[in-house]
Amino acid sequence: MQSRRGTICSSVSDSKSQDSFERAQILLPAAMANADVVAFNIAAFVATLFLLEAGADKFIDHTAIVARRISVSQAVIGLLTAGAEWEEVSLNLSLIQA
C-alpha cells in the first residue's frame, strides 16, 4: 500500500514538473524578441535622437533671429531658452546696472 502511494505521489510530482516544463516551452518563444523588431526599434531610437538634435539646433538658431529682430540681447534669450525665469533675468539685469 505504501509503495503504491509512493508511486502515485511520484507520478503526480512528475506530471507537475512536466506541466511546468511544457509551460516554459510555450512561454519561451513568446518571451524571445524577433531580431527584425529589435533592429527596427534601435533604428527608430537612433533616428529620433538625430531628429531631436536637429530640431534643437533649429530652435536655438531661430530664437537668436527673433532676439535680433526685437532688439533683445541674445544672452537674455539664451537664458530664457535654457530655463531661467524672466524674474531671475530681470533681477540679474537690475543688479548688473546698479
User: 0.75 cut: is pTM over it?
Assistant: no
State residue 36's pLDDT score.
85
State residue 46's pLDDT score. 97
pLDDT at residue 13, as a whole number: 52
**pLDDT value of residue 15:** 58
The pLDDT value recorded for residue 25 is: 58
Taking the C-alpha atoms of residue 81 and residue 63, their distance in angstroms, rounded to an integer, is: 8
C-alpha cell at 27: 512561454
Domain boundaries defined on the chain: 52-98
The pLDDT of residue 6 is 47
Closest CA to 61 of 45, 77, 84: 77
| CA-based radius of gyration for the chain | 33
Phi, psi values for residue 85, rounded to 5°: -80, 155
Q: Do 89 and 80 meet the contact criterion of CB atoms below 8 Å apart? A: yes
Q: How far from 51 is each of 42, 44, 58, 65, 70, CA to CA, in Å?
A: 14, 10, 10, 21, 28
Mean pLDDT by 10 residues, the chain (98 residues): 49 58 57 78 96 92 88 80 77 79
Position 23 scores a pLDDT of 61
